[in-house]
Structure 1
Amino acid sequence: MGADILVMGALHLDVIVNAPALPAPDETMMGKDVAYRFGGKGGNQAVSAARMGGKVAMIGVVGTDDFAQPLRAELARADVDMSMLATCDGASGMSVAIVQNDGSYGAVVVSGVNRQINAQQAKLDPPPKVVVLQNEIPVAENHALLARLPQDVTVIWNAAPALTRDAVMVGRADILVVNRLEAAMQAGLPHDLPDPEAALTQLAREGRAVIITLGADGYIAQARDGTRFGAKAHRVPVISTHGAGDAFVGALAAEIARGADLAAAAAFAQGAAALHVSTPLEGRADITPAQLRHAFGL
């Protein structure tokens, strides 16, 4: 394969609408403008890792519709290896996101042919250093890929979207990356009022590294050796938080593949997320690792 980082996950074309607010049920609202952007957690994380200097390959599926070409084009633009990308009859994955004036958003995702992804698409000779997985594809395919991996491959699992606890993934993931809600669900704690510190304690007991992202509050983390650390978020003007978590995970994977420890990789990832949310959509593809390190003194 030749890549240091292998990402398996969903590919979507995101339809992003800027509007004053999220519409209420039965409400029709006039939006400000619309953009069509590459997305899907797997795709976003693969592109983020590649733009942050990683050598990345992607396992994914596109359809036979008009959305397939821009999805392939964005992977190619980021120099992501597409030799494990499949094409299946049907509609490519897509989403509609409504971004409010304060940068927060709501979204609806349609999986399309992402449901047909197959772990057997993976070429593992030689194996990658890092594998990145999420929850937007069938759980069985994540499990199937894990079963094929050598034990010395570092598995980063971004347990998003939030699902019920997955014992197989919890048992194999070397680094778990979750937000407040996802952390509570994987820890088996109440998720109506999530307590990230309690969730971190519970998840770290199981022997893996854990990072809980807290949005504007930064992140908290614990390494496998028990070292606990965290950082407040960088103060930046927020244009849109859409895709910030994926920017974090991709940058984290790139630094881990380069041999960084968890604390250094998390600091780098937080910088990537900060630049992502403070950069207009059309400029995000031009963010470089050097720019990131200079901006935040990394």
Structure 2
Amino acid sequence: MIGGVFVVGALHLDVVVGAPHLPAIDETVIGQSVDCRFGGKGGNQAVAAARFGASTAMAGRVGSDQFGRQLLKELDGAGVDRTQVVVSDGKSGMSVAIVDSSGEYGAVIVSGANSAIDGQMINVPESAGVVLLQNEIPEAANVAVARQAGKQRTVILNAAPAHQVCPELLDRVDLLIVNRCEAEQLTGTRGAEMPEKLAALGPPAVIATLGADGLILVRRDENDLRLTANPVPVVSTHGAGDAFVGALAAEMARGKALESALEFAQSAAAIHVSRKVENRNRIGRREVLAFMNDS
């Protein structure tokens, strides 16, 4: 179905710290920088989908604090319809991420208002062709939205952070997206049998993004598809997964075939990791298409 993208997910204020390496237990590391950014997988993916040309709406929840107002302002600036983003008493969600000198990172999330998202109060827009979910909100909310989406829409679950997903949700998902770490946690393996175990999770298609090693697409009754990564200098991988998922959803909402949408999304993520943070919001569909033509 061709239509817009509807994202149900978390909104966070991200505190991002630059450091030479991630601290070990009992270790104190001298940081090099600190920055506060718009975040949450739902928010990031909604903004990315809008930036890559999709008519995008979001459902979520923020607190009645300064951070919540800042998050809503970012959605407005990106052109995301936030009619179903609720402002509630209490604090907005936050995360703290530490990015090391190689661009890799680790993060801690405090859900705040996101933990009160109620799927029964969410209405999937008739115009939505793609419904995008993640694991940063209560699973019951994801199940309720997936039920409402039905078979006439493409339901994508980005299973991040990784945890075991209930069978009903997996049955209602058309496309499951995980990164290497999440794939290992869900399948219990990192070896050659991983594709087979990913396929056994249930959804008709599963994508595992593998960083510098590209990605693998596993589909029911079809051969696996592997795409190599685009070689680019890495500034930071923080947010790359959300850029990938948002770009993929935007292309699928345009009616593009999954393989074509994957190539676009992988190129979008490559540009994302090669850019300084302050320049990432300028990346658009035209630039990604030009990058693909030059690659």
TM-score where L is the length of structure 1: 0.93
1:199/1:172 CA distance change after superposition, 3 Å? farther
Identity of aligned residues (%): 50
Give the structure 1 partner of residue 78 of structure 2: 78
Q: Give the whole-Å Cα distance in 2 for the aligned partners of 1:76 and 1:120.
A: 25
From 264, 268, 272, the counterpart of 1:268: 264
Q: How many residues align?
A: 292
Do residues 88 (structure 1) and 83 (structure 2) align?
A: no
Q: Give the whole-Å Cα distance in 1 for the aligned partners of 2:215 and 2:221.
A: 18
Higher deviation after alignment, 19-28 or 72-81: 19-28
Q: Give the whole-Å Cα distance in 2 for the aligned partners of 1:20 and 1:277.
A: 18
Give the structure 1 partner of residue 235 of structure 2: 239
Per-residue CA shift, 1:7-35, capped at 9, x if unaligned? 00110010011111122333333211111
Do residues 200 (structure 1) and 195 (structure 2) align?
A: yes
Alignment of 1:51-66 (within 5 A): 51-66=51-66
Give the structure 2 partner of residue 283 of structure 1: 279
Give the structure 2 partner of residue 132 of structure 1: 132
Offset, 1:283: 0.5
Offset, 1:143: 0.7
Q: Give the whole-Å Cα distance in 2 for the aligned partners of 1:268 and 1:70.
A: 30
Contact 1:127 1:153 in 2 (8 A): no
Do residues 209 (structure 1) and 205 (structure 2) align?
A: yes
Contact 1:223 1:262 in 2 (8 A): no
Offset, 1:233: 0.8
Give structure 1 regions of 4+ aligned residues with deviation exceeding 4 angstroms: none
Letter in 2 for 1:265: A
Contact 2:6 2:125 in 1 (8 A): no
1:171/1:258 CA distance change after superposition, 3 Å? same
Per-residue CA shift, 1:90-121, capped at 9, x if unaligned? 11001111111110111111101100111134
TM-score where L is the length of structure 2: 0.94
Give the structure 2 partner of residue 16 of structure 1: 16
Higher deviation after alignment, 276-285 or 171-180: 171-180
Per-residue CA shift, 1:50-109, capped at 9, x if unaligned? 111111100110101111122111111110000000011111001111111110111111
Offset, 1:198: 2.4
* 5+ residue gaps, structure 1: none
Higher deviation after alignment, 141-150 or 47-56: 141-150
Contact 2:176 2:203 in 1 (8 A): no
